[in-house]
Amino acid sequence: MAGTIIADTLTHSTAGSVTTDYVVNGSAKAWAVTDLTGTLSDSLNVSSADDDGTADFGLNFTNSFGSAAYVANITPNVTALNPRLYLVSPSRATSACEFRGMESTSGTQLESNVTDTMASIQGDLA
**What is the reported pLDDT for 31?**
92
Q: Mean pLDDT by 10-residue block, N- to C-terminus, for the chain (126 residues)?
A: 78 82 77 83 93 79 93 74 53 86 63 71 88
Alpha carbon dihedral 47, 51, 55, 59, in 10-degree steps, equals -10
For residues 99 and 109, is the Cβ–Cβ distance under 8 A? no
Nearest to 38 by CA among 93, 123, 126, 116: 116
pLDDT of residue 112: 56
pLDDT at 85: 45
What pLDDT is recorded for position 58? 86
User: Global pTM?
Assistant: 0.74
DSSP code at position 49: E
pLDDT tens for 74-86 read: 877 766 555 544 5
Q: How far is CA 98 from CA 5, 14, 94, in A?
A: 35, 37, 11
